Structure 1
């Protein structure tokens, strides 16, 4: 273990290569060290065998210095001076990666297996406050997969707002949440004026995103008929953008996706059978595709829970194949892609299985990891705070066993330790070895 010593700030900066080369690192070190009353519990030094910073660098024998919820220093063990008041966390057996971002979840969809009813029917009978409380299990399972931030794209009764705020207050344990509230669907909202009014209502309630269902398709329904016109989608986009927010459009088919791209959507969710021109336009405009291929694989695998018959399973399996073909086209067209699980009910804990599909579609493991780190952060407009291990960023760090740049399954199956905002949320490093 490197000895902790106390040195003047000038000495630390001179002996820290990161501080010499990175103005932001210097600024944060100055800010941190200027506060003489910092208690030792806020300052941590994490030691890793390898560190993948999410920005293209890999550091062997790395140290990360954290103050409260932010990273203030990063470098090689022999080059970075550790403050005397730092709590030492030795994770040299593991590789550090940035906290992961799940771009598409439904965190408040909870199913109590001890009670009667399938997930969907039971969900209609449970009170909203009860759902939010029970959904803590979904949040914990997400953290266990290394997911420290989620974008939640749909919940009624203001449940996602409540869950987000409880997590932010520290009253509930879970990933950082960016939420869309209730989505705009054709059965609820029709016409440009009503679309605008409904979107404005969600923003007034505190939505971070606007969600619009641009086609049919959900659960065992794998149809993809366009539901909103280009003009209606454009109205939703304008409301969101005027407020400094963003628009996500659900489309199981190609037509809704094509209209959404032209209307100014920021992300396209699920879409299959997408034509080349739409993907080319998405690539040119930086519109992010969240394919959620694994989501329907999950439904088919959990058919007993949902009461799906062989016909439903056949449809789900066929949709996965079509979805995967669109993913491969998007990869070849250099469309920006974000990892989204579309997790519901018992899908939490499987949040990162989408990464395996990305590698099968032609991505390298490093590119797949970027979909859940830097691309996810860009999607949220948080490129300077999330998705990387660097000075000034939130201290969202995951320790995995193995090399995720060679095998993406290391990220999916070998998460051993999770920190979110400087707090250790999951620690399986002391678990008995198998």
Structure 2
């Protein structure tokens, strides 16, 4: 341990013992996977307030006498997970006779934000402590981000995109409020992107093709010049852009235009994959998302034709992931969670391993690569001094079996606060 850190801890203990008791926690683990390539057996993670101050073997970390010690030696610690693609405000209350898509937008923003706390809680229970939320309406994602940041709502920290940019569709109904995401042509795209950023969005989201639950066509919508205009607006403001494209054409132009991430795309050609690898464009394939729709077809009311289309898309999506792995394209774990998909946020990791990544590489898609995607490499995605105390305890060895991360999360800390405890060993009160 660095002498300066030891002196700080001694000062806190001597001068402010009550503060130490309130804020310093010593977490003892059977081992720590630190996200930087190290596996530390019999480890201690020392946390002060919302940050990690020390990580190392038990024999090397000095634990202040007044610190709260939590015994998690039966478990392995991994960094808090990052879900690169969610829709937190897509909530369904299971009203009989309704389906999730039918109900969307009918509950009103205030009620929806309140009820969507359930989605946030379920995400935390999977070990997801940070999300990039890619599309909402009426400022609901901004509201959830603010409530979580001030501690009034429990959930993953959120990086949000506001209204996604999309081309014109059918005319609005008489008296309907203007759609802030609708735009056509370079000038309108620039206006819409600037408005989202001015409203407080962290990212620009752009729908570069058709494609959703019942429509897997993937026809390109915005052209290259429009995508470039949106990317330039984002980058000049110090922000980033995610471009949705179910098909290869929109994805190709998104990469050319400078998108930071490309969402969903299938059929990416070799030249596009090579460009992504060269430029560091991150691919968020969301294979599991459409499998989720298939598994939940009854609650959505999907017929056999819709299911057949989704199955075909999943197969093509997975084949593209396999090719992306071989091309050394960076990938981030994104669930595209909507409605009842929260609580299944990490199942994408199994697709990555099936496609050729090792469990360790798959884990990095949800930690270090996710942090890089957000520009938070020095604060998220690893267990190291100075990083947020986002820590997940799992039962088993996630470097041998990725299902350990998917199925055996036992304890979750976000920003120094215990949010989930299924161990029965922590003296801290889990926050629900």
- Normalising by structure 1, what TM-score? 0.92
Contact 1:116 1:122 in 2 (8 A): no
> 1:380 is matched with which residue?
374
Match of 1:143 among 111, 124, 131: 124
Q: Is the aligned partner of 1:50 residue 2:31?
A: yes
Match of 2:313 among 312, 319, 329: 319
> 2:385 is matched with which residue?
391
User: What is the distance in 2 between the residues matched to 1:33 and 1:256?
Assistant: 57
**SS of residue in 2 equivalent to 1:357:** helix
In the TM superposition, residue 165 of structure 1 has moved relative to its aligned partner by: 0.4
**SS of residue in 2 equivalent to 1:85:** coil
Unaligned runs of 5+ in 1: 1-15, 20-25
In the TM superposition, residue 219 of structure 1 has moved relative to its aligned partner by: 1.3
> 1:419 is matched with which residue?
413
In the TM superposition, residue 31 of structure 1 has moved relative to its aligned partner by: 5.6
Distance 1:341 1:79, change over 3 A: same
> 1:108 is matched with which residue?
89
After superposition, residues 209-288 of structure 1 pair within 5 angstroms as 209-288=203-282
Distance 1:78 1:329, change over 3 A: same
In the TM superposition, residue 220 of structure 1 has moved relative to its aligned partner by: 1.4
Contact 1:252 1:272 in 2 (8 A): yes
User: What is the distance in 1 between the residues matched to 2:8 and 2:224?
Assistant: 49
In the TM superposition, residue 430 of structure 1 has moved relative to its aligned partner by: 2.1
In the TM superposition, residue 297 of structure 1 has moved relative to its aligned partner by: 0.2
Contact 1:32 1:72 in 2 (8 A): no
**SS of residue in 2 equivalent to 1:89:** strand
User: What is the distance in 1 between the residues matched to 2:8 and 2:378?
Assistant: 17
Match of 1:369 among 360, 363, 366: 363
In the TM superposition, residue 80 of structure 1 has moved relative to its aligned partner by: 1.3
Q: Is the aligned partner of 1:352 residue 2:346?
A: yes
User: What is the distance in 2 between the residues matched to 1:401 and 1:90?
Assistant: 14
> 2:98 is matched with which residue?
117
**SS of residue in 2 equivalent to 1:300:** helix
Distance 1:339 1:33, change over 3 A: farther
> 1:59 is matched with which residue?
40
Cα offsets for 1:255-277 (capped at 9, x unmatched): 00000000010000000010010
**SS of residue in 2 equivalent to 1:244:** coil
Q: Is the aligned partner of 1:305 residue 2:305?
A: no
Q: Which moved more, 1:101-110 or 1:111-120?
A: 111-120
Distance 1:411 1:308, change over 3 A: same
Contact 1:108 1:135 in 2 (8 A): yes
User: What is the distance in 1 between the residues matched to 2:413 and 2:185?
Assistant: 45
**SS of residue in 1 equivalent to 2:377:** coil
Unaligned runs of 5+ in 2: 169-181, 426-432
> 1:208 is matched with which residue?
202
Q: Is the aligned partner of 1:174 residue 2:168?
A: no
> 2:145 is matched with which residue?
164
In the TM superposition, residue 223 of structure 1 has moved relative to its aligned partner by: 0.8
In the TM superposition, residue 85 of structure 1 has moved relative to its aligned partner by: 1.4
In the TM superposition, residue 33 of structure 1 has moved relative to its aligned partner by: 5.5
Match of 2:398 among 401, 404, 408: 404
In the TM superposition, residue 168 of structure 1 has moved relative to its aligned partner by: 0.2
User: What is the distance in 1 between the residues matched to 2:233 and 2:262?
Assistant: 17
Cα offsets for 1:279-323 (capped at 9, x unmatched): 100000000000000000000110011110000000001000000
> 1:341 is matched with which residue?
335
In the TM superposition, residue 34 of structure 1 has moved relative to its aligned partner by: 5.4
> 2:108 is matched with which residue?
127
> 2:175 is matched with which residue?
none
User: What is the distance in 2 between the residues matched to 1:31 and 1:380?
Assistant: 31
User: What is the distance in 2 between the residues matched to 1:126 and 1:116?
Assistant: 15
User: What is the distance in 1 between the residues matched to 2:225 and 2:193?
Assistant: 14
Contact 2:79 2:367 in 1 (8 A): yes
> 1:86 is matched with which residue?
67
Cα offsets for 1:188-243 (capped at 9, x unmatched): 21011110000001001100000000000011110100000100000000100011
User: What is the distance in 2 between the residues matched to 1:80 and 1:213?
Assistant: 49
In the TM superposition, residue 39 of structure 1 has moved relative to its aligned partner by: 3.5
Number of aligned positions between the proteins? 408
Q: Is the aligned partner of 1:190 residue 2:170?
A: no
User: What is the distance in 2 between the residues matched to 1:144 and 1:60?
Assistant: 25
User: What is the distance in 1 between the residues matched to 2:406 and 2:322?
Assistant: 20
Contact 2:20 2:67 in 1 (8 A): no
